[in-house]
Structure 1
Amino acid sequence: MRTLAVAALLAASSSSSPLLLADGFSFTRPSAATVDHRRRHCHPDAPSSSSSLQMASKHKSKVASRTIWAESRGFGSAGTTTLSSSSSVTSSASSSSGGMTFEIDSTQNQLTVTPITSLDGIVTLPGSKSLSNRCLLLAALSEGTTRVENLLESDDIRYMLEALDTLHVHVERDANDPTCVTVTGQAGPIHSPTPDTSLELFLGNAGTAMRPLAAALCMGNGKFVLDGVPRMRERPIADLIDGLQQLGADVTCVESTGCPPVTISAQKLDGDKKASISGKMSSQFLSSLLMASPLIDGEVTISIKDELISAPYVSLTIGLMKKFGVNVRIEGDMSGTPSFIIGATEKYTSPNSILVEGDASSASYFLAGAAITGGTVTVRGCGSDSVQGDVAFANVMEQMGATVTWAPESITITRDPTVRLQGVDVDCGKIPDAAMTLAVAALFAEGPTTIRNVYSWRLKETERMKAIVAECTKLGGTVEEYTDYCVIHPPKDNVLNDNVLIETYDDHRMAMTFALAACGGVNVRIHDPGCTAKTFPTYFDVLGSIAS
Structure 2
Amino acid sequence: MDITILKSTIDNDQKSIAVTGSKSESNRLLLLKALYPGISIENLSNSDDSVLMQNALESKDEVIDIHHAGTAMRFLTAYFSIQENREVILTGSSRMKERPIQILVDALRQLGADINYLDKEGFPPLRISGKKLTNSKVILKANVSSQYISALLLIASKLDYGLELILDGKITSVPYIKMTLSLLNEIGIETEFKDNQITVQAQTSNLKPQTLTVESDWSSVSYFYSVVALSEVGTKLSLSSYKKDSLQGDSILSEVYKTFGVETNFEASTITLHKSTNANQKLSIHLDLSNAPDIAQTIAVTAFGLGIACDLTGLHTLKIKETDRLVALKTELEKFGADISITDTSLHLKSSKVIKSNISVATYNDHRMAMAFAPLALTTSIHIQNADVVSKSYPQFWEDFKAIGFNLK
State the TM-score, normalizing by the size of structure 2.
0.93
Aligned residue runs from structure 1 range 299-338, under 5 A? 299-332=162-195, 338=196
Identify the residue that residue 18 of structure 1 maps to in structure 2: none
Q: State the alpha-carbon separation in 2 of the partners of residues 420 and 402 from structure 1.
A: 12
Identify the residue that residue 154 of structure 1 maps to in structure 2: 47
Q: State the alpha-carbon separation in 1 of the partners of residues 94 and 263 from structure 2.
A: 42
Identify the residue that residue 134 of structure 1 maps to in structure 2: 28
CA-CA distance at 1:517 after TM superposition: 1.1
Identify the residue that residue 432 of structure 1 maps to in structure 2: 293
* Equivalences, count: 400
> What percentage of aligned pairs have identical amino acids?
30
CA-CA distance at 1:279 after TM superposition: 3.0
Larger radius of gyration: 1
Please tell me whether the aligned partners of residues 500 and 525 of structure 1 are also in contact (alpha carbons under 8 angstroms). yes
Deviations 1:322-353 (A, max 9, x none): 12221111121xxxxx1111223466625421
Please tell me whether the aligned partners of residues 102 and 122 of structure 2 are also in contact (alpha carbons under 8 angstroms). yes
1:472 is aligned to 2:333:
yes
Q: State the alpha-carbon separation in 1 of the partners of residues 76 and 228 from structure 2.
A: 38
Q: State the alpha-carbon separation in 2 of the partners of residues 345 and 538 from structure 1.
A: 38
The letter of the residue matching 2:376 is: A
Aligned residue runs from structure 1 range 276-295, under 5 A? 276-295=139-158
1:240 is aligned to 2:104:
yes
Counterpart secondary structure, 1:414: strand
Q: Identify unmatched segments of 5+ residues in structure 1.
A: 1-108, 168-193, 333-337
1:263 is aligned to 2:263:
no
Deviations 1:197-235 (A, max 9, x none): xx2111111112111111011112122210000011111
Cα distance change on mapping 1:483 and 1:385 into 2, 3 Å: same
CA-CA distance at 1:307 after TM superposition: 2.3
1:230 is aligned to 2:124:
no
1:214 is aligned to 2:106:
no
Please tell me whether the aligned partners of residues 156 and 201 of structure 2 are also in contact (alpha carbons under 8 angstroms). no
1:519 is aligned to 2:393:
no
Cα distance change on mapping 1:531 and 1:347 into 2, 3 Å: farther
Identify the residue that residue 448 of structure 1 maps to in structure 2: 309
Counterpart secondary structure, 1:406: strand
1:458 to 280, 300, 319: 319
CA-CA distance at 1:145 after TM superposition: 2.9
Bigger CA drift: 247-256 or 507-516? 247-256
Deviations 1:342-377 (A, max 9, x none): 223466625421111100100000011101113212
Please tell me whether the aligned partners of residues 314 and 345 of structure 2 are also in contact (alpha carbons under 8 angstroms). yes
CA-CA distance at 1:418 after TM superposition: 4.8
2:212 to 354, 370, 378: 354
Please tell me whether the aligned partners of residues 133 and 209 of structure 1 are also in contact (alpha carbons under 8 angstroms). yes
Cα distance change on mapping 1:423 and 1:379 into 2, 3 Å: farther
Q: State the alpha-carbon separation in 2 of the partners of residues 443 and 342 from structure 1.
A: 44
1:415 is aligned to 2:275:
yes
Identify the residue that residue 390 of structure 1 maps to in structure 2: 250
Identify the residue that residue 368 of structure 1 maps to in structure 2: 226
CA-CA distance at 1:253 after TM superposition: 2.9
Counterpart secondary structure, 2:95: helix
Q: Identify unmatched segments of 5+ residues in structure 2.
A: none
1:342 is aligned to 2:200:
yes
Please tell me whether the aligned partners of residues 285 and 310 of structure 2 are also in contact (alpha carbons under 8 angstroms). yes
Cα distance change on mapping 1:346 and 1:381 into 2, 3 Å: farther
The letter of the residue matching 1:114 is: L
Please tell me whether the aligned partners of residues 107 and 139 of structure 2 are also in contact (alpha carbons under 8 angstroms). yes
Please tell me whether the aligned partners of residues 326 and 347 of structure 1 are also in contact (alpha carbons under 8 angstroms). no
Please tell me whether the aligned partners of residues 326 and 346 of structure 1 are also in contact (alpha carbons under 8 angstroms). no
CA-CA distance at 1:131 after TM superposition: 1.0
Cα distance change on mapping 1:316 and 1:115 into 2, 3 Å: same
1:530 is aligned to 2:394:
no
Q: State the alpha-carbon separation in 1 of the partners of residues 274 and 162 from structure 2.
A: 49
Q: State the alpha-carbon separation in 1 of the partners of residues 206 and 227 from structure 2.
A: 41
Identify the residue that residue 379 of structure 1 maps to in structure 2: 239
Please tell me whether the aligned partners of residues 158 and 203 of structure 2 are also in contact (alpha carbons under 8 angstroms). no
Bigger CA drift: 246-255 or 233-242? 246-255
Identify the residue that residue 543 of structure 1 maps to in structure 2: 401
Identify the residue that residue 501 of structure 1 maps to in structure 2: 360
Please tell me whether the aligned partners of residues 260 and 278 of structure 2 are also in contact (alpha carbons under 8 angstroms). no
Please tell me whether the aligned partners of residues 382 and 391 of structure 1 are also in contact (alpha carbons under 8 angstroms). no
Deviations 1:94-146 (A, max 9, x none): xxxxxxxxxxxxxxx4200111223652221111111111111101101x433
Please tell me whether the aligned partners of residues 80 and 129 of structure 2 are also in contact (alpha carbons under 8 angstroms). no
Identify the residue that residue 346 of structure 2 maps to in structure 1: 485
Aligned residue runs from structure 1 range 103-142, under 5 A? 109-118=1-10, 120-142=14-36
Counterpart secondary structure, 2:68: coil
The letter of the residue matching 2:322 is: E
Please tell me whether the aligned partners of residues 158 and 202 of structure 2 are also in contact (alpha carbons under 8 angstroms). no
The letter of the residue matching 1:314 is: I
Bigger CA drift: 307-316 or 146-155? 146-155
Q: State the alpha-carbon separation in 2 of the partners of residues 297 and 419 from structure 1.
A: 55
Please tell me whether the aligned partners of residues 319 and 344 of structure 2 are also in contact (alpha carbons under 8 angstroms). no
Please tell me whether the aligned partners of residues 290 and 314 of structure 2 are also in contact (alpha carbons under 8 angstroms). yes
Q: State the alpha-carbon separation in 2 of the partners of residues 437 and 128 from structure 1.
A: 17
Please tell me whether the aligned partners of residues 217 and 266 of structure 1 are also in contact (alpha carbons under 8 angstroms). yes
Please tell me whether the aligned partners of residues 278 and 304 of structure 1 are also in contact (alpha carbons under 8 angstroms). yes
Deviations 1:466-496 (A, max 9, x none): 11111111111111111100111243x2x31
Q: State the alpha-carbon separation in 1 of the partners of residues 208 and 113 from structure 2.
A: 26
Identify the residue that residue 24 of structure 1 maps to in structure 2: none
Q: State the alpha-carbon separation in 2 of the partners of residues 350 and 227 from structure 1.
A: 34
Q: State the alpha-carbon separation in 1 of the partners of residues 3 and 405 from structure 2.
A: 16
Q: State the alpha-carbon separation in 2 of the partners of residues 411 and 479 from structure 1.
A: 33
Cα distance change on mapping 1:437 and 1:513 into 2, 3 Å: same
CA-CA distance at 1:306 after TM superposition: 2.0
Aligned residue runs from structure 1 range 149-228, under 5 A? 149-167=42-60, 199-221=62-84, 222-228=86-92
Please tell me whether the aligned partners of residues 295 and 347 of structure 1 are also in contact (alpha carbons under 8 angstroms). no
The letter of the residue matching 2:211 is: S
The letter of the residue matching 2:333 is: C
The letter of the residue matching 2:227 is: G
